[in-house]
């Protein structure tokens, strides 16, 4: 475990909470930029947890579950809503961020 990266992941989670706690008069970012923002935010979170924990599964689960919690929290903020597509973007970002460099094909399958 690398505590520094786990600490950065916790800080990023706090920043995401603070951002989703802000009322959004006017609707926030237009579609599809809002989905890209969700994807990138949770890709960073997944990558930080991966670096902090050293394993894909717990990093992905922490980032994805936080996406669920944050979307539920956001549904109670005036002017904000929780969308299923936002959650999909959160999950995809968390998955790819937590995957990290292991996205490459294994040595045996390379030509």
**Torsion, CA 58, CA 75, CA 27, CA 37, rounded to 10:** 0
First-to-last CA distance in the chain? 34
Is residue 16 a contact partner of residue 65, using CB atoms and an 8 Å limit?
Answer: no
Residue 107 lies in a domain: no
- What is the number of structural domains in the chain? 1
Residue 73 lies in a domain: yes
pLDDT tens digit sequence for 33-85: 889 999 999 999 999 999 999 999 999 999 999 999 999 998 898 888 888 89
The pair of structure tokens assigned to 87 is: 């959650």
Residue 39 lies in a domain: yes
Domain hosting 43: range is 3-21+29-100
pLDDT tens digit sequence for 4-38: 999 999 999 999 999 988 886 555 677 788 899 99
């Amino acid at each position: 475990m690398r505590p520094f990266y786990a600490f950065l992941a916790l800080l990023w989670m706090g920043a995401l909470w603070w951002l989703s706690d802000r009322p959004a008069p006017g609707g926030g970012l237009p579609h599809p930029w809002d989905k890209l923002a969700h994807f990138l935010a949770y890709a960073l979170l997944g990558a930080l947890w991966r670096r902090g924990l050293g394993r894909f599964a717990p990093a992905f689960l922490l980032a994805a579950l936080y996406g669920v919690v944050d979307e539920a929290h956001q549904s109670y903020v005036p002017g904000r809503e929780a969308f299923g597509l936002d959650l999909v973007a959160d999950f995809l970002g968390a998955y790819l961020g937590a995957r990290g460099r292991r996205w490459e094909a294994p040595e045996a399958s390379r030509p």
